[in-house]
Amino acid sequence: MSHQTDPALLDALDALTVTAIGCRVVVGLVGLDAGQRADLATSWAWCEPVLERRPRSECDAVAVLRGDGDAPAGADSDAHADAPTLVVADALDQLTETVTTVVTQLAIDQRRDDLLLLHAGGVADPVTGAVVAYVAPSGHGKTTASRALGRTLGYVTDETVAVGDDGLVVRYPKPLSVRGPAAPGASRPKAQVSPDAAGLRRAPDGPLTLARVVLLDRDPAATEVTVGPIGLAEAAARLFPQISYLGARARPLRRLQALLERTGGLLVVRYAEATTLEPAVRELLAVSAPAATPGGEGPGEATVGLDAHRASPGAPGPTHGGGVLVATAVDDWVADAGSVVVLHRDSLRTLSGIGVAVWHAARAGRTLDESVAAVVREHGLPGDGPEAVARARELVLAAVAELVAAGLVRQR
């Protein structure tokens, strides 16, 4: 059946308004009948959905369902030019999946400056409100874990755990995006399943506080659930791709470091099936949740490091033994256990070994000779005899060349 929409009505649309990560997002709906609109609202039942007529100018996005391949009249016209996002689909399941993605992204865009936005699922202790956030890339088990854990623990989200500098979590109990069976070699849109239909439990009323952050590592060969810590440098490297707009915030690495320190450091949970996770997650939640910090002043000073990467052939480097080393202004950096993590131009690097000593020497404006002396004091000479001093100098020159090639140090 082909849907037809009077262009004159495009200024007053049927719209779905939901609360996503603490902000209201309005999606105009074109081409959906009353039953389809109601079903869509039901899937968002835990996000305060409202169906009403709204002026097109008040919509954050417009979702258009085409029928029989024909777009509703006026749907793709310039009448929608002022809508920030236009979503057009031929099938209802495709449209509802895209609406979920768009709502999430619009909410993330609105909260990018005041919240740390982990690409993670989350569940809460039904009594204390302590939250475990489980981080993983798309398609690596967040929704499956949320379905398994959320039946007895409080469902927070299966997509984005948003946390303030005070440790408080902003709930986002969106529809669960569930991939159904498909023919071999084919893919199909994810069904948007309401938390009620999935049989999930609501998170408790009142404040939710982030208690632990874990990385999901699903291993079909695992015979038991294991939980183990990783250091800050590795944690930053593994979490950085899974945090929206981290580099856009002030002192991003220090904020991340403060969050991990407050929650006991990043843990890796290795498991075979999501149904086996509950005892381990409950044990993590049994540890007293850290108290929220009123006012959320954010992290203070901190320090870190960077795995030295080999400079490419012909990369610029020091051409003589003199001169002063100067550290480049970077977005942020932190130090941890003999390493330094540096964020520069949206690239995260981990310094280690003598690279850390050279980095600190450059930050202090030391000469190359002073930098060699600092490395020798910290690491000793690479061998015995007069040649050991020359070898130490060669190693420092190589480290300087790598940092210069990475754009972190220059020689003046």
Q: What is the pTM of this model?
A: 0.83
Return d(Cα 177, Cα 159) in angstroms, integer: 9
Write out pLDDT tens, residues 42-59.
999 999 999 999 999 999
* Measured distance CA(239)–CA(118) in Å, rounded: 8
Q: What gap in Å lies between CA 14 and CA 35, rounded to an integer?
A: 12
Residues 6+ apart with CB under 8 A from 373: none
Residue in this structure with the two tokens 């294991």, named with its chain if needed: 226
Confidence of residue 340 (pLDDT cuts 50, 70, 90): very high
Compute φ and ψ for 200, nearest 5 degrees: -90, 165
pLDDT score for 137:
85
List pLDDT tens digits, range 255-294. Answer: 899 999 999 999 999 999 999 999 999 999 987 545 544 4
| Residues, the chain | 412
3-class SS at 411?
Answer: strand
SS3 128: coil
| Strand intervals (E) in 181-307 | 191-193, 201-202, 209-218, 226-229, 243-244, 267-271, 303-304
Q: Report DSSP letters for 344-392, one per residue.
A: ETTEEEEE-THHHHHHHHHHTT-BHHHHHHHHHHHH--SSSSHHHHHHH
Could you report the per-residue pLDDT of 114-144, keeping only the tens digit for each? 999 999 999 999 999 999 999 998 888 999 9
Q: Among candidates 338, 334, 316, 319, which has minimal Cα distance to 407?
A: 316
Tell me: the pLDDT tens digits for 139-194? Answer: 889 999 999 999 999 999 999 999 998 999 999 999 999 987 655 555 778 999 99
Is 315's pLDDT higher than 70?
no
Report d(CA 398, CA 404) in Å as an integer: 10
